[in-house]
Structure 1
Amino acid sequence: MSSAPRVPGTILVSVFPAAPGGGNPAPIVPDARGLTGEAMRLIAAHHGHESAFVLPPVDSASADRRFRFFVPAHEMEMCGHASLGAAWLLRRRGEAPGATLHIETLSGPVRAIFMDDTVELTQPAGRAAAVADLAPILTALGITAADLADAPVLNATTSRIKTLIPLRDVARLHALAPDPGAVRAACEAIGSTGLYPYVLANSASAHARQFPQNSGYPEDAATGIAATALYAGLCTLGAAPLVLTVRQGEAMGRPSEIFVRRGPDGTGLRLSGRVELLDEVTHP
Structure 2
Amino acid sequence: MSDVEVEVVRVFTCGGAGGNPCPVVADAGTLDAGAMQDIARRYRHESGFVLPPEDDTHDLRFRFFVPNHEMEMCAHATIGTLWVLARRGRLASAPVRIATVSGTVTGFVQAHDDGSWRVEITQPTGRVVPLASERVDTVCAALGISRDALADLPVHNAATSRVKTLIPIRWPEGLHALAPDPAAVEAACRAIGSTGLYPYAVLDGPGRTFEARQFPRSSGYPEDAATGIAAAALAFGLLHDGTVEPDDRRILIHQGRAMGHLSEISVRIGFAGDRALGCLLGGEVAPEDERGSANEGSFK
TM-score (norm 1): 0.95
Q: Report the alpha carbon displacement of residue 264 of structure 1 after superposing the two structures with TM.
A: 6.8
Distance in 2 (CA, whole Å) between partners of 1:131 and 1:222 is 24
Change (3 A) 1:7 1:19: farther
SS at 1:75's partner residue?
strand
Aligned twin of 1:257: 264
SS in 1 for 2:186: helix
What residue in structure 1 maps to residue 286 of structure 2? 276
Secondary structure, counterpart of 1:222 in structure 2: coil
Residue 49 (structure 2) pairs with residue 53 (structure 1): yes
* Residue of 68, 71, 81 corresponding to 1:76: 71
Higher strand share: 2
Offset, 1:267 = 1.6
Give the distance between the partners of 1:138 and 1:239, measured in 2 at CA. Answer: 22
Q: Which residue of 1 aligns with 2:137?
A: 135
Aligned to 1:119: 119
Instruction: For residue 199 of structure 1, report the CA deviation from its aligned partner.
Output: 0.0
What is the root-mean-square deviation in Å for CA atoms of aligned residues? 1.4
Aligned to 1:64: 59
Which of the residues 18, 24, 29 maps onto 2:20? 24
- How many aligned positions are there? 279
> What one-letter code is carried by the residue in structure 2 that aligns with 1:237?
D
- CA distance change for structure 1 residues 264 and 145 in 2, over 3 Å: closer, same or farther? closer
The change in CA–CA distance for 1:263 and 1:94 in structure 2 (over 3 A counts) is farther
Matched, 1:174 2:184: no
Match of 1:220 among 224, 229, 249: 224
Amino acid across the alignment from 1:281: G
- Report if aligned partners of 1:123, 1:271 keep a CA contact under 8 Å in 2: yes
Question: Is the CA contact (8 Å cut-off) linking 1:6 and 1:282 kept in structure 2?
Answer: no
Deviations 1:70-123 (A, max 9, x none): 000000000010000001111111110322110001111000012222211000
Q: Is the 8 A contact 1:127 1:236 kept in 2?
A: no
TM-score w.r.t. structure 2 length?
0.90
* Identical aligned residues as a percent: 51
Task: Give SS of 1:39's match.
Answer: helix
**CA–CA distance in structure 1, aligned partners of residues 40 and 8 of structure 2:** 11
Q: Distance in 2 between matches of 1:19 and 1:118?
A: 13
